[in-house]
Chains A and B, each alone.
Chain A
């Protein structure tokens, strides 16, 4: 018997799990795939939005601004990389000024913190010398920042697990039923569980669960966005996250540095049907490149290290759908969470947990420890720190991923931690091994070996992202089987 079952291990589900662990609350998070942070949370723009974009009075506006203000503390408590590098919304047309004014006013109305003003062509060029020649002026958003979405999600989960929340992966929820005693029965691929409350944080599938229990039917459609990542050597081309002022032709393409020093270009926005269709397309990639070249003329295509796409959970109202379903007491929705969902996640989780705590009359957990330390990032340390780590654990002296300078010790720890990595992509998200310019060409064989060793399985059973995503097909010699 649980107090709360959370469906979905994305950034919102994991944040809610952490917030609930502030209470004496028996929490179980069920994630369908082989890892947390495996959907929308792993494939987005990684931006901390300032809060000027959403219409005043919406949930998006409210939680964006609240969430944004929480990231300094998250950075301190969870050791998650956050950089306040500002955002610039650049107008590329002479008549864009009224629209910039409108965004500025919206930001003021929403209660955006920090600097918020329109800068002219000269200041824009001084701040960002590589901006395209047709740029006219821009809205400067001081509260704009960047964050690592994987580490944020993993950190929420690790901290929740440290404080008692349970996590199950490869646990697909198939049914949610109201019981006669007022509790809920959650039926999943790993068994059925009774719980006092349910949190629906199922991303693009959250409409399915809402519609199982509520007469207020909702519809979430996936909106696909395609992206490029450029090599670290272009790290300093832009300092701020460079938005384009939305026009009748579209919302524009963003170019933003990431906290890891790469550069992200994207996303496109395409409404699709299939909730698993994360393909990239020739048309989408071409469009992203074409539009981005307004911001960055002559983008060096040789600098691309990878492309990817992500699905946003777009609802019908244009706003988040949050809170207890009116006709399903104890069933709490966190639905239609698209941009600015990442920025809003701590505030949404805080609010949702408080709602649940009130409903279930949860007591405060006196043992709650908000502190989570990151896996040491060897690549960011100085020589003395590196020497000390190797002295403590020689595995820090073995570099596995040479492009990102990731050590064997980091990879082993990523697997051993609570809610640890179970596959190659899980190792990648937790350590950056394989995310660099060679895109895992050199380190894959060793990462596979380490996963097999740590998980006590054969290298042939190691997957890229769970399911049947095996990397290898068989041994060349019978002898291999005995020496896996």
Chain B
């Protein structure tokens, strides 16, 4: 059986940064397994710019951002194996994978870093009624067809969901000569960045229909149109508000789901609120020596934060291999208070050192709110914000000494406090 110190599953932004992080911390025996033909993950097809402001202090396109990390992986001579699919991860950290070149392999790792990313929610999960004709794609699939394969799915487009991928595809399809008729959003607000709403929709006069959804899909052999209706506060369609949009393409941007099938095989505990692994502040999962980072841990808003998180996971994995990761002692649970959806980490070890960072998504749009962190009811942080929105993650970094005394602590609570009206 092959052996390696650190095995990284996935060669996208998280996997690349985890490898670089591990190497820079001192690890030398690292292996990246990537299922596609090239490294880079989803960034390969994200040819728009806006990546890297935090990491590189400049705005890069997805392929450029990925290449910065790929260049480092090459320079450090970190081994990677593309077109290799991992089929199983055992709690003992034996990874089973297949490839054309090497057939079926078992690799024993000392530490495993899960970097599988996420997938898009498909139409089926929405149970949108109507015909099951071609012409309905997730935004990412359409993006792959245009940007990587050089083929157009259609010319008359409606977009369901106003997440950033949907907005970016509205502009891309417009740039490629298609007519985008509308972007339809179920919620009363968009989860996309304001910049994308302005520069991908407003710039081209594409209407953003908030509190609307697609209620019927028409066209027997191919998509011919969709019926859109307004929804009430209960998010149910309001009869009588239906309008018909002729189109040959419906793009879905209705959410991302972390791909944790392998994590579950390894016995890693999954948090319902993030659909990702339960981790402590070192990004170690419930299985010792298995770490998780990037969009498989929780869906991020910016790739820069994926890189930051993954770099840390890589360094911690190396510490684990060396036996120098502080023995994870008693775990203090991190509780989600009002307005906090899906927090990472879910536990903080009572031996935590340095800065402990918390990331979460606000459940709603809150103006002028405070983000509050409490240790057993005692406030240890209170941060005033202008606006909080589900589309943008909140990043908190708390010095470990502020989190003391952790030894007897029962819980850390993170909550949002909205000013009284």
Q: Which positions in A face B, CB cutoff 8 Å?
A: 228-229, 276, 278-282, 284-285, 301-302, 304-308, 383, 386-387, 390-391, 394-399, 402, 405, 437-442, 444-445, 459-460, 463-464, 467-477, 479-480
Contact = CB atoms under 8 A, between A and B. Distances in A.
A228 B151 CA distance: 32
A383 B124 contact: no
Interface of B: 35, 83, 85, 87, 96, 98-104, 106, 119-120, 122-125, 127, 129-134, 137-138, 140-141, 144-146, 148-155, 176, 215-216, 220-222, 237, 248-249
Contacts of A383: 96, 104, 106
Contacts of A228: 127
Contacts of B96: 383
A459 B153 CA distance: 11
Among A305, A383, A438, the most chain B Cβ lie within 10 Å of the Cβ of A438
Nearest 9 CB-CB pairings of A with B: A306-B124, A439-B122, A387-B104, A464-B134, A399-B85, A397-B100, A394-B100, A390-B103, A468-B221
Contacts of A304: 124-125, 127
Contact of A285 (B122, B123, B127, B138): B127
A307 B146 CA distance: 28
B119 A438 contact: yes
Contacts of A402: 35, 85
A307 B127 contact: yes
Given A276-B220, A472-B145, A441 B125 contact: no
A379 to B, nearest CB: 9
A399 B98 contact: yes
A280 B122 contact: no
B122 A438 contact: yes
B119 A473 contact: no
A475 B122 contact: no
Given A282-B237, A301-B127, A308-B132, 10 more contacts: A229-B124, A281-B129, A305-B125, A438-B120, A439-B122, A439-B125, A441-B122, A445-B144, A459-B151, A473-B155
A445 B153 contact: no
| Main DSSP-derived SS at the B contact region | mixed
15 contacts: A228-B127, A278-B131, A278-B132, A279-B129, A282-B129, A306-B123, A308-B132, A390-B103, A397-B100, A445-B149, A469-B133, A472-B151, A472-B153, A473-B153, A475-B151
B252 to A, nearest CB: 9
Contact of B222 (A391, A459, A468): A468
| Main DSSP-derived SS at the A contact region | mixed
A395 B155 CA distance: 35
B134 A473 contact: no
A477 B150 contact: yes
Contacts of A278: 131-132
A459 B149 CA distance: 10
B82 to A, nearest CB: 11
A395 B99 CA distance: 9
Contacts of B100: 390, 394-395, 397-398
B383 to A, nearest CB: 32
Among B87, B98, B148, B176, the most chain A Cβ lie within 10 Å of the Cβ of B98
B144 to A, nearest CB: 6
Contact of B124 (A391, A439, A471): A439
A32 B23 CA distance: 60
Contacts of A302: 125
B130 A399 contact: no
A285 B98 contact: no
A232 to B, nearest CB: 9
B86 to A, nearest CB: 10
Among B99, B140, B221, the most chain A Cβ lie within 10 Å of the Cβ of B221
B85 to A, nearest CB: 4
Contacts of B220: 276
Contacts of A438: 119-120, 122
Contacts of A281: 129
B99 A305 contact: no
B385 to A, nearest CB: 30
B124 A463 contact: no
A34 to B, nearest CB: 11
A398 B248 contact: no
Contacts of B104: 383, 386-387, 390, 397
A480 B125 CA distance: 34
B119 A441 contact: yes
A231 to B, nearest CB: 9
A459 B134 CA distance: 14
Contacts of B248: 473
B98 A306 contact: no
A467 B129 contact: no
A229 B176 CA distance: 36
Given A386-B104, A438-B119, A464-B134, A470 B98 contact: no
A193 to B, nearest CB: 27
